[in-house]
Amino acid sequence: MSTHTLKNAPRLFPSLFPRLCPPLLLAALSCLGSLAHAADIPLYETGPSQDAAFVRFINAQAGLLEVSSAGSVTRTKLEPGQPASPFYTVDANARVKGRFHAGSQQGDIGLTVKPGEFASVVALPGTGAIKQIILREQPDDFNALKVSLALYNIDPQCGPAGLKVMGRSAALFESVASGSLQRRALNPVSISVQLVCKGVLAPATLALGALQAGQRYSVFVVPSGVNSRLFITSDNLAR
C-alpha cells in the first residue's frame, strides 16, 4: 500500500496510509484543491482500515502562529495572510496531540475526531497560554453545481452573527451563535459581504472573490480588538 508522503518533505508525523472513505465523502474530496503553503506535509497518522477523519488549524491571532505535533520540533507556519492549514487526514477516534506556538506563548492541542468528521482547531488571540476553540462538521451537502460556503463565528463579542451581501438587501447568513457555524449552498458568484453582529451592521467587510462550483469555503468571524474581522479560506485537503 503506497504512502502519501512527499519525498524529502519535512516529517512532522509518521507517514500517512490511505484509508477508505464513504462514497459521498470521496466525491466531495475529489473536488478539493491543494493549498499553496505546507499542504503536502503529512501531519498525522491514518489507519488503513477505518473511515477517514480530518483536522485543520486556524490562526485567529494577529501575528505568526506555528503548529507542532507532540514530541516534535518541526513546525508548520500559519501566517496572518494565510491563516488556515489544509485539512489533514487523521485516525478516527484516536487522540490528536500537538501544540500552538506564537512567540513566547504556547497552547496544547488535544482532540479526537469522529469518522467522516471535519474538525477546525482555532487558536484565539489573547495573553498567556493560547486558548482554542474546536468546531466540527459532518459534510453531507456536496453538489458539483453549487458553492458550499460556511460561516464560522469565533468572536464572543459578535453573537449572533450574520453576513449581508453588499449592495443588496439579501442576507447570506443569519443568527450564527458565537462558537458555532452554519453552512449553505449557493450559486457560483463573486460578491462582497458585510458582517452583522447582533442584528446591526458591523464595520468588517470582505470580498469573497470568484467562488467556484463544486468547491467548499469557510468565512471566519474572529476578534480584533473591540471589533471583529473576517477572512475566507478554501476547505482544501492536504495531498
- Please report, in tens digits, the pLDDT of each residue of the chain (239 residues total): 333 322 233 333 332 323 333 433 333 333 333 333 333 334 444 444 457 899 999 999 999 999 998 878 889 999 999 999 999 999 999 999 999 999 999 999 999 999 999 999 999 999 999 999 999 999 876 799 999 999 999 999 998 999 999 999 999 999 999 999 999 999 999 999 999 999 999 999 999 999 999 999 999 999 998 999 999 999 999 98
HSE on the CB side for 7, CA within 13 Å?
A: 1
Cα–Cα distance, 17 to 32 (Å, whole number) = 19
Map grid coordinates 499542504 to a residue. 39
- For residues 88 and 119, is the Cβ–Cβ distance under 8 A? no
Handedness of CA 83, 88, 94, 96 (dihedral sign): negative
- For residues 26 and 67, is the Cβ–Cβ distance under 8 A? no
The pLDDT, as a whole number, for residue 37 is: 39
The pLDDT, as a whole number, for residue 71 is: 79
Cα–Cα distance, 54 to 105 (Å, whole number) = 26
The pLDDT, as a whole number, for residue 50 is: 56
The pLDDT, as a whole number, for residue 8 is: 31
The pLDDT, as a whole number, for residue 43 is: 43
The pLDDT, as a whole number, for residue 47 is: 41
